[in-house]
Amino acid sequence: MSPTYKGTAPSKKRFASGGMESIPIGAHLIPVDIKKEYDIVPFHVYHPNPHDAITILRNRKNQHDWLVCGWYIDTFREGGEVKGLIYRQVTSAPDREVVLAELKKHDKEGSARFGL
């Protein structure tokens, strides 16, 4: 056994419930119920660097309808239950152009919505 093991179990993780006011300014919430209308596996555009991915979801009913969520920030929980995901919106024109260009490479007939 490792000498660093102290023999104690990790404590139970508690989630702080910050409510809707805990969502940062300039961010938006994508509820889990809305996310169920889109494919499970998202399409990512890495912008402005290879480590920052913009999440884009494809609609299950209309394969050419895309929802641009933005840069993932955090998970929104109430009472320890996941209620949605928090994203920073894509607001600047140059960033939107990059997203649309990458989306057109992936789906020539695709149309993007920026936010709900």
31 occurs within a structural domain: no
Are 86 and 76 within 8 A, CB to CB?
yes
11 occurs within a structural domain: no
Q: What is the mean pLDDT of each run of 10 residues along the chain (116 residues)?
A: 56 55 78 90 88 92 93 88 90 93 93 88
28 occurs within a structural domain: no
Whole-number pLDDT of residue 80: 83
The full 3-state SS of the chain, as one line of letters, equals CCCCCCCCCCCCCCCCCCCHHHCCCCEEEEEHHHHCCECCCCEEEECCCCCCEEEEEEECCCCCEEEEEEEEEEEEEECCEEEEEEEECCCCHHHHHHHHHHHHHHCCCCEEEECC
Whole-number pLDDT of residue 45: 92
99 vs 109: CA distance, rounded Å: 14
Could you tell me how many residues make up the chain? 116
88 occurs within a structural domain: yes
Q: Which domain holds residue 89?
A: 38-114
Number of domains in the chain: 1
Whole-number pLDDT of residue 12: 60
103 occurs within a structural domain: yes
Are 114 and 27 within 8 A, CB to CB?
no
44 occurs within a structural domain: yes
For residue 90, what are its two tokens? 């894509």
Whole-number pLDDT of residue 62: 93
7 vs 43: CA distance, rounded Å: 43
97 occurs within a structural domain: yes
Whole-number pLDDT of residue 98: 93
22 occurs within a structural domain: no
- pTM value surpassing 0.85: no
